[in-house]
Structure 1
Amino acid sequence: MLGRLYEKWMFAWETALTTRDTNRIVRPLEWGFDWLGEFAPETAAGVNDLERMIAANEDIVARSDEFFSYKTPTDFRLEERHPLLFPTNVRPETLAEEAEMRRRAATGETPKVEFLRFTSPVASKYPENDVVNARWYPAAASAKKGRPKQAMIVMPQWNADAFSHNALCTLFNRSGISALRLSKPYHDIRRPAELERSDYAVSSNIGRTAAACQQAVVDIRSCLDWLESQGYEDFGVLGTSLGSCYAFIAAAHDPRLKVCAFNHASTNFGDVVWTGQSTRHIRAAFEQAGLSREDVSQVFKAVSPSFYMEKFAAHPKRVLVVHATYDLTFLREFSLEVLASFKKHSVDFVSKVLPCGHYTTGETPYKFLDGWYLGTFVHRAFRKLHSVG
């Protein structure tokens, strides 16, 4: 009885959090072949756009090492600036918080901090998006004395503001682990001026969504290159929600990532788009165009972790998966599929369960439990790397 009441309360709270933003836009379906470069198949007689896009995704999966390949950037630099919020909602309290941050920055009340900046090896059509941004949290030399230099790359959730997950980075610093808090494509300072939200990262433009994933994965790998140039030897990645998807695919294609923390995980990108509360506006666009759930699943193969599981399992890693019992964005069944697949492929993983939902993970008290799971896992995983040499 109490369990059913708790579930009802949690689902109501989760739904309230996913419906409070009023600036989600239903945009029409765009195939986006122009975003896929050489992976966009030629138009052929008797082949419609849906079939072309399915073929493009199958080609990307088959040649994923090429799709996620890159040349190391040559313009790495550390820039100092005042941190700003870059919110994605238009709630009055959030806009007031942003205005206060800008005022404090203008008067010098807020200290400047360091950001790693470089040109993304994957170019989009938006210049501001193509300059990668990662807030730099170097661990104190005394905290990492006597062991290899270790670093985490942290990727927050879809539509995260610029302060999301910063606390995790300072938590890692206490364990002697440095951190780069990476802004995903189309997020915070990388967001085109025409947008209120980070809509171009995941949208009804299928090709652009795949290209955003390609760019995110390559940006992660480029950050590893910079860290190596700074003398770092052990690397990990933490991703939440969409960031988890990007982190998984990066780890599948880069064996340097030996510690992986997936904060909410799913197998098939299209299934999440179709069933998730936070992507209802995208599903609406696909339904208006006559696409089915199976169609959407097929056209998002290239950005679905399930199709890279063998690559991911090919190199040893220490892995954490956190999922939520009452998740209405990444349904619990999808997270359980991840765990089953890890078992099937003999991945060394730890599973933790939160008694909340996707959005409520960021609320008290669940955010503290989540932070404990993530922080203790990363601390112990890096210690084990060091202990085995």
Structure 2
Amino acid sequence: MFGKLYANWMYRWETALTTRDENRVVRPLEWGFDWLADFLETAGIAPQAAAATGNPAAEEAAMLALNEAVLRMPSFFDYTPPADYRLESRHPELFPTNVRPETLAKDAELKQQARDGQLPTAEFLRFTSPVRTPYPENDLVNARWFPAPPERQAGKPRQAIIVMPQWNADAFSHNALCTLFNRFGISALRLSKPFHDIRRPAELERSDYAVSANIGRTLAACRQAVVDIRCCLDWLQAQGYEQFGILGTSLGSCYAFIASAFDPRLQVNAFNHASMSFGDVVWTGQSTRHIRAGLEDAGLTQARLDAVWRAISPVSYMQRFARHPKKVLVVHATYDLTFLRQYSQEVLHNFAAYGIDFVSKVLPCGHYTTGEPPYNYLDGWYLGSFVYSAFKSLAENPLPIASPSQPEAALEPEATAQ
């Protein structure tokens, strides 16, 4: 009886949190081939995409061909290293993604503190993303830099972690985790995802272009995020760091997983809410129902959406992820209405089937309630204690690592393990 009452209370709370923002926009289906023009040429699909214009069935077939090409050609996530890394000092800003009065008041307060000289400046790593979009502000990568104090790094390999917050996170989200990692002697780069905070185009209130009914743009955003993560690793390595990890939450966990599948340097992996299929989450999640509405209006189904986003679904890279030794944490929530519990359990089942060294932790809440007391403290404990112990173990017993520049043969995408 109590369990049912608790579940109903949690679902009501979760629903209230996912419906409080009224600036979600329903946009129509767009195939977005223009966002992937370079790869269309490389894969030889450009003529097919051009000929399909205006024919929905042919456009979908061309997008399926593009996904198949991505899975055959690992070069989709290749990049030319940036040549313009620099550290920038500035006052941090919130960059809110909702228009609730309390959020706008917090944003105004921070701006006033900056004007009054009461807000300390922070350091940000900036560089030009190797993946270009029509938005220059989005293509200037931004990562807040949290270097660990030298005395806490003494006597062990220099260690660093990249932190990828959730979809529509403001610029302060996950900063507390970065300062916690500093106390462990682990430096942190809190990376702004494509189309988020300072990278968000002025025309948007939310980070809609990262995930939307524009199929190609959503693929391109994931591609850019994965490449940006790898560029951050290059910079960290150039600064003398030796051991690396990544923490991703929700959408950030998808980006983090694919980056780790392609870059063996990422040996500590914390996935805070995870799923096997990008399309399944968008189709079934409460927080993406406005995207589903645009897709359904065009006649798409869940299975067809899964197919056109297969190239950015973790299921497609499970074998590649398992090729190199890693320490992995997966956190999921029992009452999650955004990443349904069954999809997170598929991740655990596949990790076990592939022999991946992982730890599973379960939160007695939902997706959005993970950010609310007391569950945010429990989640922080799971993430912090794992990162601490994983890096400690790595310092004492380093894992073998392959060169990230070493060419890798294409792997056949694997079906979900049974």
Question: Is the pair's TM-score, using the shorter chain for normalization, greater than 0.5?
Answer: yes
- Report the number of matched residues: 388
Residue correspondence of structure 1 range 286-325 to structure 2 within 5 A:
286-325=295-334
Alignment partner, residue 133 of structure 1? 142
* 1:273 matched to 2:304: no
* 1:61 matched to 2:68: no
Displacement after TM superposition at 1:144 (Å): 1.0
Report the residue type matching 2:228 in the other structure: D
Unaligned residue ranges in structure 1 (runs of 5+): none
List per-residue Cα deviations over 1:80-113 (Å, max 9, x = no partner). Answer: 0000100000001101110111111112110111
Alignment partner, residue 21 of structure 1? 21
Alignment partner, residue 342 of structure 2? 333
Displacement after TM superposition at 1:50 (Å): 1.0
List per-residue Cα deviations over 1:279-323 (Å, max 9, x = no partner). Answer: 000000010001111111111101100000000000000000000
In 2: Cα distance, 1:175 partner to 1:18 partner: 34
In 2: Cα distance, 1:251 partner to 1:37 partner: 25
In 2: Cα distance, 1:18 partner to 1:31 partner: 27
In 1: Cα distance, 2:66 partner to 2:28 partner: 20
What SS does structure 1 have at the residue aligned with 2:205? coil
Do the aligned partners of 1:14 and 1:359 also contact (CA within 8 Å) in 2?
Answer: yes
In 2: Cα distance, 1:101 partner to 1:140 partner: 26
Alignment partner, residue 185 of structure 1? 194
List per-residue Cα deviations over 1:58-99 (Å, max 9, x = no partner). Answer: 111221x20000011111000000001000000011011101
In 1: Cα distance, 2:35 partner to 2:193 partner: 17
In 1: Cα distance, 2:311 partner to 2:35 partner: 13
In 1: Cα distance, 2:284 partner to 2:129 partner: 32
Displacement after TM superposition at 1:118 (Å): 0.4
Alignment partner, residue 291 of structure 2? 282
Displacement after TM superposition at 1:39 (Å): 3.4
In 2: Cα distance, 1:284 partner to 1:148 partner: 49
Alignment partner, residue 11 of structure 1? 11
Displacement after TM superposition at 1:56 (Å): 0.8
Displacement after TM superposition at 1:388 (Å): 1.0
List per-residue Cα deviations over 1:235-278 (Å, max 9, x = no partner). Answer: 00000000000000000000000000000000000000100000
Residue correspondence of structure 1 range 1-389 to structure 2 within 5 A:
1-40=1-40, 41=45, 42-43=47-48, 48-63=58-73, 65-389=74-398
Do the aligned partners of 1:39 and 1:59 also contact (CA within 8 Å) in 2?
Answer: no
In 2: Cα distance, 1:108 partner to 1:385 partner: 41
Instruction: Give the TM-score, by structure 2 length.
Output: 0.92
What SS does structure 2 have at the residue aligned with 1:133? strand
What SS does structure 1 have at the residue aligned with 2:276? coil
In 1: Cα distance, 2:147 partner to 2:86 partner: 15
In 2: Cα distance, 1:54 partner to 1:60 partner: 10
Alignment root-mean-square deviation, CA: 1.0
Displacement after TM superposition at 1:131 (Å): 0.3
Unaligned residue ranges in structure 2 (runs of 5+): 399-418
Do the aligned partners of 1:213 and 1:303 also contact (CA within 8 Å) in 2?
Answer: yes
In 2: Cα distance, 1:149 partner to 1:2 partner: 48
Quote the sequence identity (%): 69
In 2: Cα distance, 1:60 partner to 1:358 partner: 30
Report the residue type matching 1:59 in the other structure: A
What SS does structure 1 have at the residue aligned with 2:221? helix
What SS does structure 2 have at the residue aligned with 1:4? helix
Report the residue type matching 2:65 in the other structure: A
In 1: Cα distance, 2:147 partner to 2:394 partner: 19
Instruction: Give the TM-score, by structure 1 length.
Output: 0.98
In 1: Cα distance, 2:233 partner to 2:32 partner: 29
List per-residue Cα deviations over 1:185-243 (Å, max 9, x = no partner). Answer: 00000000000000000000000000000000000000000000100000000000000
Do the aligned partners of 1:269 and 1:303 also contact (CA within 8 Å) in 2?
Answer: yes
